[in-house]
C-alpha cells in the first residue's frame, strides 16, 4: 500500500500502515442514522469526546444532512449548529477536526473556530470559493464523487462505465484543486459510497477500489450504516434492517474490512468503539 503523510497545523497523520478512522458527528436533526441524537451543544460535545476516546484519528462534524432527498439548510442555520461544537471540542480533544460542508462561509468560520480539514461532498462544485479558501489556509481537503445532489442522487442513478466515470471525475477535481493552489499532499479522494449509486454500484466500487487508489492520493471510504448494507441484509429477513440495527453495524464492519484490504487509507464511521479493534486486526493481517 502507498503511504502518505498529512502534515498540517499542529497535526501529523501517517496514512497507510494503520487505517485512519474518521469519527462521524452529525449536529443535525435529520441525518439518516443518528439525526437528532447529537443536535444540542452538550450531547454533541459529549459524543465528540467519546469518539476520540474510543480511538478516532479525525472528528468529522457536519451541520447539514446529505442523506438521499435531503434539502439544504441556510448558512446561518448550519453555522449555528456546528461552530459552538467546534469551538468547544477544539479545546478539549487532541485530534484534528474536519468540517463537513459544501459552503465556503461555513468552512471559513469552522477553520477559525478550530477545525483544520475541509470535507466537501461536492468536490468544490457547489461553492467554487471553497478551493480558494482551502488553498489560502493550506488545509487538507476531502473531494467526493456524487452523481447529482442529495435531493436527486438516488433517482435512478446510471453509469455507462462506473469505475471509469468515478475515476475520471475524481482526477479532474483533484487537478482543478491543484490548479487553484491546493498542494497535492493535501488532497484526499472519496468515491462517495451511497451518493448516487445503487446497491450493485457500491459493491463494484468497493471491489475495484484499486482503480481509485491508482490515482496516487489517499482514499477515504464511508460505508458506515449505508442503505446498501441495510438492503442486502434485509433480503430474506422477516423484518427490515434499519440503520441503527446491530446487523447494520456488522455489515459496516464487513464493508470496512473490504475497503481496507482494497486500499482505503481512511474510513469514516459512526461507531469507533467497534471499528477500532476491528481495523487493528485487519491492519495486522494486511501488513503481515
Tens digit of each residue's pLDDT (9 = 90 or more) over 44-81: 999 999 999 999 999 999 999 877 766 788 999 999 99
- 1 located within any domain: no
Contacts of 262 (CB under 8 A, 6+ apart): 206, 207, 208, 209, 210, 213
* Residues of the domain holding 89: 17-287
Burial class from Cβ neighbours inside 10 Å (0-12, 13-18, 19+) for residue 232 reads: middle
**Tens digit of each residue's pLDDT (9 = 90 or more) over 20-29:** 999 999 988 7
- 6 located within any domain: no
- 2 located within any domain: no
- 269 located within any domain: yes
- 46 located within any domain: yes
**What's the first-to-final CA gap in the chain, in angstroms?**
12
Output the domain CATH number for residue 246: 3.20.20.20
pLDDT score of 34: 52
* pTM of the predicted structure, to 2 decimals: 0.94
What is the Cα–Cα distance from 94 to 15, expressed in whole angstroms? Answer: 18
- 10 located within any domain: no
Span 119-134, mean pLDDT? 97
User: Which residues are identified as catalytic?
Assistant: 226, 268
- 4 located within any domain: no
**Reported confidence tier of residue 152, pLDDT bands at 50, 70, 90:** low
- 7 located within any domain: no
What is the Cα–Cα distance from 48 to 223, expressed in whole angstroms? Answer: 20
pLDDT of 30 above 70: no
Secondary structure class of 104 (helix, strand, coil): helix
How many domains are contained in the chain?
1
Amino acid at each position: 500500500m502507498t503511504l502518505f503523510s498529512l502534515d498540517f497545523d499542529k497535526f501529523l497523520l501517517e496514512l497507510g500502515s494503520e487505517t485512519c478512522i474518521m469519527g462521524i458527528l452529525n449536529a443535525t436533526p435529520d441525518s439518516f442514522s443518528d439525526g437528532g441524537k447529537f443536535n444540542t451543544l452538550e450531547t454533541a460535545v459529549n459524543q465528540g469526546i467519546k469518539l476520540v476516546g474510543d480511538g478516532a484519528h479525525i472528528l468529522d462534524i457536519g451541520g447539514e444532512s446529505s442523506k438521499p432527498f435531503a434539502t439544504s439548510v441556510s448558512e446561518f442555520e448550519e453555522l449555528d449548529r456546528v461552530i459552538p461544537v467546534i469551538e468547544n471540542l477544539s479545546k478539549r480533544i487532541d485530534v484534528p477536526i474536519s468540517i463537513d460542508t459544501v459552503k465556503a462561509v461555513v468552512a471559513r468560520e469552522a477553520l477559525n473556530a478550530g477545525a483544520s480539514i475541509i470535507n466537501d461532498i461536492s468536490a468544490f462544485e457547489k461553492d467554487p470559493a471553497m478551493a480558494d479558501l482551502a488553498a489560502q489556509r493550506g488545509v487538507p481537503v476531502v473531494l467526493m464523487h456524487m452523481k447529482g445532489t442529495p435531493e436527486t442522487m438516488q433517482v435512478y442513478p446510471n453509469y455507462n462505465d462506473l469505475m471509469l466515470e468515478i475515476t475520471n471525475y475524481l482526477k479532474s477535481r483533484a487537478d482543478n484543486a491543484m490548479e487553484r493552489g491546493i498542494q497535492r499532499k493535501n488532497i484526499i479522494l472519496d468515491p462517495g459510497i451511497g451518493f448516487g449509486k445503487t446497491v450493485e454500484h457500491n459493491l463494484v466500487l468497493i471491489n475495484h477500489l484499486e482503480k481509485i487508489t491508482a490515482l496516487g492520493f489517499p482514499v477515504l471510504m464511508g460505508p458506515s450504516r449505508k442503505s446498501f448494507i441495510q438492503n442486502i441484509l434485509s433480503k430474506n429477513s422477516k423484518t427490515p434492517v434499519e440503520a441503527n440495527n446491530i446487523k447494520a453495524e456488522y455489515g459496516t464492519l464487513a464493508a470496512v474490512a473490504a475497503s481496507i484490504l482494497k486500499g482505503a487509507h481512511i474510513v469514516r464511521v459512526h461507531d469507533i468503539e467497534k471499528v477500532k479493534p476491528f481495523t487493528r486486526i485487519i491492519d495486522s493481517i494486511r501488513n503481515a
